[in-house]
Amino acid sequence: MDKRWEVKESKLEIVKQLAKDLHVSEIVAHLLALRSIETFDKAKLFFRPDLADLNDPFLMKNMRQAVARIEMALNKNQKILVYGDYDVDGTTSVAMMYSFLKRFNNNIDYYIPCRYDEGYGISLKGIDYACQNSFSLIIALDCGIRAIEQIDYANKRDIDFIICDHHTPSDKTPNAIAVLNPKQFDCHYPYKELSGCGVGFKLIQAYCIKNNISFDQIIEYLDLVTVSIAADIVPLNEENRVLSFYGLKQINSKPRVGLEALMSTFNKAKKLTMSDLVFKIAPRINASGRIDHAKKAVDILVEEDYDRAKLFAKEIEAHNNSRKDLDQIITKEAIEMIDENKKSTVVFSKKWHKGVVGIVASRLIEMHYKPTIVLVEIDGILTGSARSVHDFNLYEAISKCSHLCEKFGGHKYAAGLSVKKENLNAFIDAFEIAVAEKITKDQLKPKIEVDMEIDINDIDEKLYRIIKQFAPFGPLNASPVFISKGVIDNGYGKKLGSDKSHLRINAKNSRGSIPGIGFRLGGEFEKIKDSQEFDICYSIQENEWNGRKNLQLMLLDIK
């Protein structure tokens, strides 16, 4: 699939001044400027994250009320139910809050809604469970900001709610004891991009400040916060950078028993990165809720006995393998249904498993780059997930078809929805019209955002050492991407893999050559053979083989 390369720009005067102030190359100064690091002081904070730089949790609206209500519950020995969504952010949030509160009181339990029976967010069934079991307080994490009716339902049953959420609020706020969400329009908390688990951590931090508990006592929870940051694809700048920097240290030095058990199920590098959390840890945590029940994900994350955790991990790994099998089967079936002549994709089968429709939608976009909806049938209603392409507002497109939806919700790039079966064809037509009216040719072509063009002679160990210090990588701080033009292979480039689907090059430079590997780029071999010039788009990595380390290019595209 042909891709656009879009090179970012920075202000030359800022780059030159930064290079002078920091005694770094203009390449490094440009990379920093693109990440809004434009002064010496900002660079110091970026390269040396400090827990002292975390924001005061009491700057968050309603924080004092939330802490006071928890203190009251603990002092009066009231039962507290920790409630969270079934995804990674929700389950890590619940595991963290439950583990913390168990230090003070045994009248604590946790509740995760069933993806299939209750759906996303706070459910009436969950509130009924709390009522039947005499819980006085529910702490909801990673959900609840739009649960107006559910909170009213709980209030009538004398159950108080504290809501810790990070999703975009509506005009009306639930009538809870306290709503913690930095995105509330009148909340003056300076950082707006915390994960749901991050908001929960700020509540724990505030409780500790109020009760003279050392921050050292809660550093252990940063591993869960970091997993949530990685999995929920929130920006990795400012406060999230500090949290994840120290969370990765915790994961790589003293991981909790449950995470250690999950790590035992895959080939673990010496040090886990944010990418490992996204592609190895998060899918396993998610697998429980997709195939069985997400409560099992919390079970392993709060477990303190390694042998028991290993048993949980074995079961979760089986779920993850089932998820991968379903993913492959459904993706293959869905590809055959795609209409190449349309600007959108809507596919449906009553045989498919609801737990993987979001993954399948993302897979289809990788192969057929256009707004995509994957639906399954549950009790006569078609329900599923939608995913968008870069810079196209999926939520607005579905809104134009809302008269054909039973319900829908989401944001610019992802949404969930349900449609009556008899309205499916009308919905497909309406969605195609809504997409075709707004989408541009460029939006239908995948884009690679490039930090800058460099000569491959600029690549050396010194540059790579500094780039490594940019980690942890994620949104708003992605691993730097470069392009180099007029490159020539030294003649040893070739296709790799049993199906020859991958590509290796050896790009010539004045120092010799630098190897590059491109997964699923085997079809580009014709562009690099016979000493012809070509352009490459890549990031820089370190490869270790037989105890020896060398730099290599991770190829993203070739032109």
72-114: pLDDT as tens digits: 999 999 999 999 988 899 999 999 999 999 999 999 999 999 8
Residue 449: pLDDT band with limits 50, 70, 90: very high
Q: Examine the domain organization and report whether 224 and 243 are in the same domain.
A: yes
State which of 316, 346, 367 marks the end of a domain.
316
Q: Examine the domain organization and report whether 489 and 545 are in the same domain.
A: yes
Judge whether residue 117 has pLDDT over 90. Answer: no
User: Residue 382, Cα to own-chain centre: how many angstroms?
Assistant: 26
* Segment of 145-149, 387-391, 406-410, 555-559 carrying the highest mean pLDDT: 555-559
Joined tokens for residue 176: 């809870």
Question: What mean pLDDT do residues 161-177 have?
Answer: 92
Judge whether residue 409 has pLDDT over 90. Answer: no
In a domain, 421, yes or no: yes
Q: What is the pLDDT of residue 509?
A: 75
Residue 477: phi and psi, rounded to 5, are -150, 60
Q: Examine the domain organization and report whether 285 and 149 are in the same domain.
A: yes
Residue 37 lies in domain: 10-48
pLDDT tens for each residue of 210-262: 999 999 999 999 999 999 999 988 999 999 999 999 999 999 999 999 999 99
- The vertex-554 CA angle with 550 and 557, nearest 5°, equals 150
DSSP result, 111-157: E---TTTT-SS--HHHHHHHHHTT--EEEEES--TT-HHHHHHHHTT
- b (16+ CB within 10 A) / e for 367-394: ebbbbbbbbbbeeeebbbbbbbbbebeb
Mean pLDDT of the chain: 93
Residue 20: pLDDT band with limits 50, 70, 90: very high
In a domain, 329, yes or no: no
In a domain, 328, yes or no: no
Residue 431: phi and psi, rounded to 5, are -65, -40
State which of 444, 460, 493 marks the end of a domain.
444
Residue 200: pLDDT band with limits 50, 70, 90: very high
In a domain, 182, yes or no: yes
Answer for the pair 559, 482: CB distance below 8 angstroms, yes or no.
no
Q: What is the pLDDT of residue 206?
A: 98
Percentage of the chain modeled with pLDDT above 70: 100
Q: What is the pLDDT of residue 118?
A: 81
Domain count, the chain: 4
Q: Examine the domain organization and report whether 396 and 252 are in the same domain.
A: no
CATH number at residue 344: 3.10.310.30
Contacts of 24 (CB under 8 A, 6+ apart): 18, 466
Q: What is the pLDDT of residue 406?
A: 86
Q: Examine the domain organization and report whether 455 and 434 are in the same domain.
A: no
In a domain, 143, yes or no: yes
Judge whether residue 138 has pLDDT over 90. Answer: yes
Q: Examine the domain organization and report whether 91 and 42 are in the same domain.
A: no
Q: Examine the domain organization and report whether 120 and 235 are in the same domain.
A: yes
Q: Examine the domain organization and report whether 440 and 454 are in the same domain.
A: no
Residue 340: pLDDT band with limits 50, 70, 90: very high
CATH number at residue 496: 2.40.50.460
Q: Examine the domain organization and report whether 269 and 380 are in the same domain.
A: no
pLDDT tens for each residue of 346-403: 999 989 988 888 889 999 999 999 999 999 988 788 988 999 998 899 989 999 999 9
pLDDT tens for each residue of 511-557: 778 999 999 999 999 999 988 999 999 999 998 877 788 999 999 99
Tell me how far CA of residue 38 lies from CA of 10, 14, 271, in angstroms.
Answer: 10, 7, 30
Note the pTM of the prediction, 2 decimals. 0.91
Answer for the pair 289, 87: CB distance below 8 angstroms, yes or no.
yes
In a domain, 4, yes or no: no
The pairing of beta strand 137-141 with beta strand 4-7: unpaired
Q: CA–CA separation, 327 vs 359, rounded Å?
A: 7
Q: What is the pLDDT of residue 379?
A: 79
Q: Examine the domain organization and report whether 429 and 456 are in the same domain.
A: no
Q: Examine the domain organization and report whether 404 and 469 are in the same domain.
A: no
Q: Examine the domain organization and report whether 128 and 216 are in the same domain.
A: yes
Judge whether residue 121 has pLDDT over 90. Answer: no
CATH number at residue 210: 3.90.1640.30
Q: What is the pLDDT of residue 353?
A: 87
One-letter amino acid at 55 equals: N
434: closest CA among 408, 465, 396, 471? 396
In a domain, 42, yes or no: yes
In a domain, 479, yes or no: yes
